[in-house]
Structure 1
Amino acid sequence: MKLGFNYDKIMGKIGLKYVVPIIAAKRAEVLKNTEELEQTKKSRDYVTKAMKEMEEGTTFVKNQENLDSVRTDLK
């Protein structure tokens, strides 16, 4: 199944698997509530657009060091 984005690339940039869907959901909400992207408004695929933005690096975690403090060493 083709998703339109590479989840492994996103995980390489973010590093925390539970943070990725939170960032995607928050960005998708912004896309939905603004007139920022007319093309996205037509397709209504906000989450995929948010994931693509994370993959491209246009959407990112602003305070990565705060996330590093909650990272565990469990394997």
Structure 2
Amino acid sequence: MEKMVKFNLRYDELLKKIPYKYAIPVVVAKRAEAIREYAKPFVITDDENPVSIAFMELSLNYIRIKNEEILKALIPKVK
């Protein structure tokens, strides 16, 4: 039997793992759309909101950003 996940989302904790604040919502939105349309969630939870489920999956490392090299270009180079 699979374990049900209880989750308290902390965006600042997620930013420590993925330092691209504009990429996180895009990744979550794409995953939520997939969950809503056809994909089975990787976590079991009482929450039925696809966005919440996608945030859980990203925070728990069930999904990840494929090409982080492209995202590094988004980080501003400020002196």
Give the TM-score normalised by the residue count of structure 2. Answer: 0.74
Residue 59 (structure 1) shift = 1.1
Deviations 1:16-75 (A, max 9, x none): 1111111110000000001514x67x8530101111111111111010111112321238
Aligned residues: 71
The CA distance in 1 between the partners of 2:30 and 2:39, in whole Å, is 16
Q: Choose the corresponding residue for 1:4, options 4, 8, 22.
A: 8
| Secondary structure of 2:71 counterpart | helix
| The structure with more helix, counted as a fraction of residues | 1
Moved more, 6-15 or 25-34: 6-15
Q: Is there any run of 5+ residues in structure 1 with no aligned partner, and where?
A: none
Residue 12 (structure 1) shift = 1.1
Aligned to 2:68: 64
Moved more, 46-55 or 64-73: 64-73
Residue 24 in 1 paired to residue 33 in 2? no
Q: In angstroms, what is the RMSD of aligned CA positions?
A: 2.3
Give the TM-score normalised by the residue count of structure 1. Answer: 0.77
User: 1:4 touches 1:48 (CA, 8 Å); kept in 2?
Assistant: no
The CA distance in 1 between the partners of 2:72 and 2:61, in whole Å, is 19
Q: Choose the corresponding residue for 1:33, options 31, 37, 49.
A: 37
